[in-house]
Every structure is written in C-alpha cells, then in structure tokens.
Chain A
C-alpha cells in the first residue's frame, strides 16, 4: 500500500520540475540525501556490526545534516555514479572521497576540501619501487576516478584496467589480472589494513600527485554550498574535524596516517 502510494506521489510530482532552491527543498523534506561509498573503508563502508554505511565521509555528512537540522539519508554509490546521482537529483550532495578537478567542476560544484591525499599504488612486496616501473604494467583503478584519468594521460605505456571499486581491483591484483592497483594513498592504506592477506602486499613508496577531496554539490546551489563550507570551517574550529580524523586515521586505528591537512588550508 505504501509502495502504491509512493508511486502515485511520484507520478503526481512528475509534472512539476524542481527549480526551487535546493536548501529550501532539503529543509522542507526534512531529509538530506547524501551519496556515500559503501565499499571504501574508512571513508564509506558497510559496518560489519550495525549493517549501516559509516566512515569519515559519513561523519562529515552527519555534521552537515545536524547543521541543517534534518535527517540524514545515505545513498550508496560507487565512484562512477557520483556525478549522475547529483545531476539527476537523486542525491543532494556527494560525500564520497570526491576529488576536486576542473573537469568535474563543469558538471558539479565543490565545497572547500576537507581531506587531502595523493595517488599511490599497492603491489606485491618489492615489485614496484619507482614510477618508471609503471611502464608495461597492468594497473587496476576504479572506474571514473582521477587516478584512472591521470594514469591514462601521463603513463601511456601502462595498461589501465578499470574496475567498479577498489576492493574488486584488489581482487584482480590477488588473481594476477593486474600487477598493481592505484587509488588515494589514504584509501589504499586502509584497504590494506583490512586485508586478511596484507603481509604479501605493500603501498609503493612514491606518490604521483597531491589531490583534494571535497563535498560535491549540484551546480549553482550557492546557498547550500555556503552552508556546507560554514559547517566544514566550524568542524575545524571546534576540533571536531580532528576528532573525526583520529577516529578513522588516528594512531590507535588499523590504518594510522598523520594528519597533514587542515580544513581551510586550500580554498
């Protein structure tokens, strides 16, 4: 019955295209729909105990929902679906380790960055020591990520194989389909920390580029963007940002990583 009702409402609402301010829409609905990863610990992943999506990105999303005083609804996404979800209005914002690029700015807006990392690699121990060795290798990446684009552009001698998400790419590395996989260093360190067979692999000791991750927003939603930026600044000022970071990357976690970026460092 509820489903039939939902269908009826969806059909009735069909005739009225949404042009109103998104911030007002969110407040009116009482729900903030956030696209988050479900397979990328510790940014967004399915928690084994609670069976809910949680992670660093989710904590940031929670802070934004709290600031708006609305309920948080998470929409699971993979890297390639992030922009379609925003453009199609299926999510209000994206909090999924979303790297800021000029190319993406053509389709979506970004908040100020709340995380920074660099492109790194996982390979079997000792197999990959410097960038020159990438030539001739098959490297697994996530479809639609900056790492994929960067490798294709700058390393034409490398064969890039694109997978739906990082754990799948890691499976390909295990099975010998690729010789290395590439992602943000922070994500790789966490992935490796969670791998039962981690002693066989290592994060290669070099970084290709510095990247900044931010909240993705629909184009032209200036009021919503402003509010997200304010929330991020407040998180840093109140010390909450450090707390969130330490909860996922602090010294006592499975994937300790020193914090070398503060919110507000990068416009």
Chain B
C-alpha cells in the first residue's frame, strides 16, 4: 500500500474515533444503518397505509410522496441544515440532519414499493383470508404481507444501496463522512487524487456489493423456505 494511503488509512476508515468523533467510512455506515432502519419502518407503515387507509389519508400520503420524490436529496439536506434554524429557530446537528433527510426521502420511495408489493398479491388471497373469518388486518398480517415482503425485498435492497451512496451528500453540510474526509486528505496530499478517490470508490463498492450479496442470499432462502 502506498505511503500516503497507509498514513491516512485510519482517518479515512474511522476518522477521529479516538477523540470521540467517528468519521470516514464508519460514520457513513452508522448514518446508513440509522437512516435505513427509520426509512424501512416509515416506508412499511406508509405503504400499508396507502393500501389500507381511507381515501383522505391516502391522498395526504400520496401528496407527501410526490413532494418528497420531487426534491433532490442534496437540497433537502441543505435546507434542513441552513434554513430550518433561520426560519424556525430549529437547530439540528449535521449528522442528524442527514439521517433525517435520507430517512424521509427513502421512506417515500419505499412506501411505493410496499404498496405495489401488497397490490401484487392476488385478490384471491384476500378472499381466502376473509372467508376464513380473518379481519382485513389479520389477512394482511398473516397471509398477504409474508408473500408481499418477498416481492418487495429486491426493491428494499435497491433503496438501501442508494441510501448508502447518498450519505456522501453529507459533505455539503460539513459532516465528516467517507467522501468528506477523503476530500480533506486529498487536499493535503494534493497529487494523489486518482488513488485516493479510487480507494473511496472501492470502499463504497465493497459495502454496497456486500449488501447486494447478502440480499441475494435472503431472496434465495425466502423463495425456497416455507411461508
């Protein structure tokens, strides 16, 4: 490994962890996990509401989804960080701003996947559940969702991978994630941009590729396993 990379490796991978400030790839992963969990939970709830909710709830949610999908993630992060304090006096730290912005945007996308996943299950399944005396919610919980989740899994993996890569947008508010610290290191070393950013690319590739492989294994296990 070249010297300039070896001497900066710890900073690129976990930032100033020793001083209590995780950064680099570690911070990117922490933000991804936090935003991923919140986005998945919200997406699942939102998608379910889009199917099961009354007409008013559905139209409110649909408007929200349309709005959120129309905003570039970068803008949302920038607004939350710089404009919320000016407009409303709300002051949220950079890391939380990024997690929140990624969580709600990805929740919007996921709710659509969840909705179409549920709708992909044939009407006969609903009819079967209801004729057994189950309520709509019980049918959803025990019959429809277990099948629908399997259909949705690829969309979820897709969205999680997008989310991991989008954490790099945190640079705009000075959060010391992987891309940001790499820029700092590059600016100091000056003459190795190709090597440093190739390393960064490799970092994202390994993380996203790993998730992709994990996702495939889940898909296979679920397909053959009994529901």
Interface, chain A (partner B; CB < 8 A): 3, 6-7, 10, 13-14, 16-18, 38-39, 41, 45-46, 48, 51-52, 75-77, 81, 84-85, 87-90, 164-165, 167-168, 170-171, 174, 194-197
Of the candidates A14, A39, A84, A171, the one whose C-beta lies within 8 Å of that of B184 is: A39
B82 contacts across to A, CB distance below 8 A:
84-85, 87-88, 90
Interface of A, secondary structure class, is mixed
Known contacts A89-B85, A167-B190, A171-B193: does B174 contact A39 (CB below 8 Å)?
no
* A165 interface neighbour in B15, B34, B96, B187, Cβ under 8 Å: B187
Q: Is B187 a contact of A90 with CB atoms below 8 Å?
A: no
The chain B residue sitting closest to A194, CB to CB, is: B190
Whether A171 pairs with B190 at a CB distance below 8 angstroms is yes
For A84, the chain B residues whose CB sits under 8 A away are 82
Is there a chain A Cβ closer than 8 Å to B7's Cβ? yes
Closest residue on chain B to residue A75 by CB atoms: B174
Looking across the interface, which residue of chain A has its beta carbon closest to that of B172?
A81
Tell me which residues across on chain A come within 8 A of B81, comparing CB atoms: 88, 90
Q: How far is the CB of A8 from chain B (nearest CB, A)?
A: 11
Query: CB-defined interface of B159-194 with A at 8 Å, one 1/0 digit per residue?
Result: 000000000000001101000000111111011010
**Within 8 Å of chain A (Cβ to Cβ): is B16?**
yes
Q: How far is it, in angstroms, between the C-alpha of A84 and the C-alpha of B77 when the chains are bound?
A: 14
| Contact between chains at A48 and B7 (CB < 8 Å) | yes
Are B89 and A14 in contact (CB-based, < 8 A)? yes
Check B188–A45 contact: CB distance below 8 A: yes
Instruction: Determine the chain B residues whose CB is within 8 A of the CB of A13 once the complex forms.
Output: 90-91
CA distance A167 to B81 in the complex (A): 26
Question: In the complex, how many angstroms separate the beta carbon of A91 from the nearest chain B beta carbon?
Answer: 10
Contact A81 B174 (CB under 8 A): yes
Would you list 5 pairs from A and B whose C-beta atoms are within 8 A, ordered by A residue? A14-B89, A48-B188, A76-B174, A167-B186, A195-B190
Tell me the minimal C-beta distance from A77 to chain B in angstroms: 6
**B88 contacts partner chain A, Cβ-Cβ < 8 Å:** yes
Report A93 CB to chain B, min CB distance, Å.
Answer: 16
Distance in angstroms from B161 CB to nearest chain A CB is 24
Residue interface bits B52-85, CB-to-A below 8 A is 1, else 0: 0000000000000000000000000000011101
A-B pairs, top 7 by smallest CB distance, nearest first, are: A17-B89, A167-B187, A39-B187, A14-B90, A88-B85, A88-B82, A84-B82
Residues of A within 8 A of B16 (CB): 51-52
Check B91–A89 contact: CB distance below 8 A: yes
Chain A residues with CB below 8 A from B109, complex form:
none
Closest to A170 in B: B190
Q: Which residues of chain B from 1 to 17 have any CB-CB distance to chain A below 8 Å in the complex?
A: 7, 11, 15-16
Distance of B186 from chain A, by nearest CB (Å): 7
B92 CB-CB contact with A under 8 Å: yes
| Chain A hits for B206, CB < 8 A | none
- B29 CB to nearest chain A CB (Å): 14
| Smallest Cβ-Cβ distance to A91: which chain B residue | B174
A84 vs B172: C-alpha distance in the bound complex, in angstroms?
A: 12
| Contact, CB under 8 Å: B183 / A10 | no
Residue on A nearest B23 in the bound complex, by CB = A51
The complex places the Cα of A129 from the Cα of B16 at a distance, in Å, of 44
| B91 CB contacts on chain A under 8 angstroms | 10, 13-14, 89-90
**Cα-based distance from A45 to B189 in the complex (angstroms):** 11
